[in-house]
Structure 1
C-alpha cells in the first residue's frame, strides 16, 4: 500500500508479480486510472519516485519509468524544487458524464432483410481446442513451424526505412507478396497468372464474401458440394445465394446432378484437389464437365485450394484453374494451413474480366492486410523457407497418416470403413453399421478427451450422406494418434451391434 506522503493519499496499488503484464505496466495503468477517473484531481501532489518505489517494493528504475510514461501522456507535470503534480490537462481530458435516459423497454433488433433471411440457414463452424489433441482437424503442426526464421525476417523488416513500413498498405496487396505467390504457384501448382490478378485478403473467408457480394444477386442459384465446407457455405448464404446442394461421389461434384437441379446456376463452389470433407479428388473428366457447364451457363467457379499443397504419394495435383481456358475460375488460397491460422492471410486470383471491378472494390472500402505481415511472408517465400517448410510438413503429415492407418488396423477394423488417405489433414471413416449414431459417439468421444466431427455436420441434405467421422491427424504426433485411435475404438465397439 502507498501510504499518505507529503499530506497526499495516492490510494492502494496492488502489484501482481505472477501476472504476464510487466510491473511497470501494472503501476502505470493503476495511477492513470486514478487520474482519469478523478480520484486524483488536477493539482494533487504525487509522492516522489523514490517514495513510490519504497512503498510498492519495486525498483527505482520502474517507478521512474512509470512517471516518464505519465509525463509523456501529459497526465502529470514536474515542478522544479516542488515535486510532481497531476496536470490541468488531465482534468480537461476527462470525459463528460454520460447522459442517462430512462429505459423504455427492450430495443428491437431489426436486421437487414438479406441477413434476417440467411440467419436460420447458417451452421456453426467447427471450433478448435486451444491445445491440439486427437482428432482435431484443419490445424497444422505448430511445433514444426520455423519460428526463429520468422522472427529474424520480422526483425529485419522493422529495420527498413520508416516511410516504407509505417504507411497505409496497398488495398490490393503488397506487390512483393503478389509476385512471390505468382512465382510459387507457377512452379508448384501448375498455375500461371500475373501478379495483378492476385488480391491479398484476411483469409479465404473474406475472399468468399467478396466474391459473393460482387457476383451474386439475392436468390441467384449456387452449386455447392454436399457435403461441403461450412464456412464458405455461410459466406455465400450471407450474400443472398440460393444454395443448390450438389452430391459428391468418387469423382467429385456430380455435374450432371447440378445441371438437373439448376442449369442456370450463377456460381459453383468446389474443392477439386481434396474435396472437403470427403477427401476425394475431382477426376479430369469431371473437371472438364464443370468447366463446360460454367461456360455454357455464363457462370463462375470458386476453386478453394485449402490444402492442395499436401499430397503424399506424388507432387501436388494441378489446379482446376490451370485448365481454365475461358477465364471462369476464381482460385482461392490460404496460408492458415500451410503456415499457421493466426497469420489471417489468404488470397484469390481473379480472371482478367474481373480485375478492374475487384481493384475498384478493394480501393473503395477495404483497408488491406497489414503490410508488415505481407512483407515478412514475401521474404519467407522468396528466400526459399516456404518451400522448405512445405517439404518438411509433407514428410511429417505422411508419417502421421501412416501411423493412423496402422493403429486403425488394430482398433477400428470392422467399426469404420477407412480409405487409405494420401492427402490433406484428415481421414474419413464411415460407420460399418447403420445403427451407429453419430451424435452419441461424438458426445462420448468429447467426454473421453477426443475431438471428432460427424460427416453429416457438413451436409445440407443430411439423409443422403453416409454417417461417419472426420478425424484430423496433422496437429498431433504419432503417440497421440495411437492413443486416440485406441480410445475411439472402445467407444465405437460399445455402439456396434
Structure 2
C-alpha cells in the first residue's frame, strides 16, 4: 500500500481546510478505512516506518493510531496495528460507487412549493418582503447594543416560553391603541412568526381529521401548516368583502376554526366589511368555532383608516389574533405573536412551556425598546408614504402596459396587489417565464384551496423603487404577450 499516495490524495481533497498534521493524518486513515481501501485485518506499518514514509513526526502517527484504536477502527495486537475485523457492516463501498436509496416522505410532507425560493437574491415583485433598504438599522443597532450592555448571565438561558414580559406589555399597548384590540399582556404569546403561530393553533385547537376552513384562494403557508397537522382543510370562497361561508357550509362542514385575513385578504386584497366581520363572529359563536384572524400587513392601509380588528369588535369574541413584525420591520427578526381569548391563556401557556423552548431574549428586549421609544411608529409613518408612492407607480405602469388585459385587485392596503388575467392564459407558465427575466410573480392558480381557480398574478411592490416600476412591468408585459 502506497501510504504517501493516499495521504497526498486526501490532502488534495481537503485543500483549503486548516488543521494540524495529527488531525490530517487521523482523518486520512479514518476516511481510507471507511471507504474500504484499507481492508479488515490488514496490518498497518509501524509508527516509525509510516512517519519516515510520510515525512511527519512519529508522534503524529501515534496520535492517529491511538485515536482510531479508541474509536474501534484499529486494533493493537502485540506490536502490530491492524484494521478491525468487525467493520464489514459499517464500511461502505467507495463514495463514487455509492447509490443513495431514495426515502419516501410522510404524507404530511407531500406539499409542493411554488416554484422556487427567490429569497437571498433580488427579484422584482417578491411578495411579503418590506423595503429592507429603508429599515432604520442604526437605531435598531443602538437598541440591541443597549440591551446587550445590560444583559446578565441568567438571560443567556432559555427564555420565558411565552415571551419576554416587557415585550408582551409593549405589544398590548400598541394593539389596543392602534388596532382596537381588547387585551392584556397575559393574553399575548411571542412566537417565531405566523407560521409557528399557525402550527401551534392547529395542534392545540383541532385533532387529526377535524374540519377547518381557509379562504379560497388563500395563503399557501396557512394551507401547508394545517395540512401538515393532518386536518381536513376546506377552502371557502371569498368575494369583495372577504370569506363568505354559506349556511349550508356551516351546517354540513362545521369547522373547528376558520383562518381568515380580513384586513387585506391574501391574495386578492379585499377588505372585510364590519358587517361581514360581525356576521362571521356571530356564526362562529353559534357553531362553537374559533376564528384565527391573521392581521399580517394591516398597518399599511391607504384608502381610509384601518378597520378595527375582529378581536375587539365584541366582548369575548371567539378570535385568536395573529401578528408579525416580518412585514413591518424585517423577516429575519423572526418575531410574531398570538393574542388568545382569556379562556385559552392557561392551556396555551402550558403548551408553549412543554414543547416550545424560546431564546433570543436580547432581540425581544430590543424590540420592546424600539416600540416604546416611538421608533416603530415613526418607521410605520415613513413606510406608509413610501409604499403609497410605490403602489401608485405600480398601478400607473400596469395601466400603461397591461391595462387592456389585466384587472387590478387589492391595492388599497398592504404591500402587494393582484392582477387578474383572462382564463385562456396560463399564469403558471407566465410566472416561470417572468422569473427567468428577474420578475417574481406568484400565480393565483397555485393559491387555490378549493375547486374555484383564480387566474392571475400577485405582485409585491415594497422593494421595487418607483423609478424602476415601469421597467419591470414592461418586462412582464412582454412575457405575457408571448402567451396571448
TM-score where L is the length of structure 1: 0.78
Contact 2:26 2:65 in 1 (8 A): no
Deviations 1:182-210 (A, max 9, x none): 00111111112111111111111011001
Residue number among 122, 125, 137 corresponding to 1:135 in the alignment = 125
Which secondary structure state, in structure 1, belongs to the residue aligned with residue 182 of structure 2? coil
Is 2:363 aligned against 1:363? Answer: no
Other-structure match for 2:474? 486
Q: Distance in 2 between matches of 1:373 and 1:306?
A: 20
Contact 1:137 1:475 in 2 (8 A): no
Q: Call closer, same or farther: CA 1:97–1:329 in 2, change over 3 Å.
A: farther
Q: Distance in 1 between matches of 2:195 and 2:277?
A: 24
Q: Call closer, same or farther: CA 1:40–1:243 in 2, change over 3 Å.
A: closer
Which secondary structure state, in structure 1, belongs to the residue aligned with residue 183 of structure 2? coil
What is the deviation of 1:153? 1.2
Residue number among 270, 279, 283 corresponding to 1:280 in the alignment = 270
What is the deviation of 1:141? 0.7
Other-structure match for 1:448? 437
What is the deviation of 1:387? 0.7
Other-structure match for 1:167? 157
Is 2:230 aligned against 1:240? Answer: yes
What is the deviation of 1:339? 0.8
1:91-490 aligned within 5 A:
96=71, 101=89, 115-116=106-107, 118-120=108-110, 123-124=113-114, 127-256=117-246, 259=249, 262-419=252-409, 421-431=411-421, 433-461=422-450, 464-490=452-478
Q: Distance in 2 between matches of 1:158 and 1:201?
A: 21
- The RMSD of aligned alpha carbons is 3.2
Contact 2:202 2:229 in 1 (8 A): yes
**Structure 1 runs not aligned, ≥5 long:** 1-10, 17-25, 42-84
Q: Distance in 1 between matches of 2:268 and 2:343?
A: 33
What is the deviation of 1:438? 1.2
Q: Distance in 2 between matches of 1:91 and 1:372?
A: 46
What is the deviation of 1:285? 1.8
Which secondary structure state, in structure 2, belongs to the residue aligned with residue 376 of structure 1? helix
Contact 1:219 1:241 in 2 (8 A): yes
What is the deviation of 1:122? 5.5
What is the deviation of 1:314? 2.8
Deviations 1:213-269 (A, max 9, x none): 111111111011000011111111111210111000001101226735744211100
What is the deviation of 1:106? 7.8
What is the deviation of 1:378? 0.8
Q: Give the count of matched residue pairs.
A: 426
What is the deviation of 1:441? 1.6
**Structure 2 runs not aligned, ≥5 long:** 1-9, 29-58, 74-86, 94-98
TM-score where L is the length of structure 2: 0.80
Q: Distance in 2 between matches of 1:265 and 1:40?
A: 58
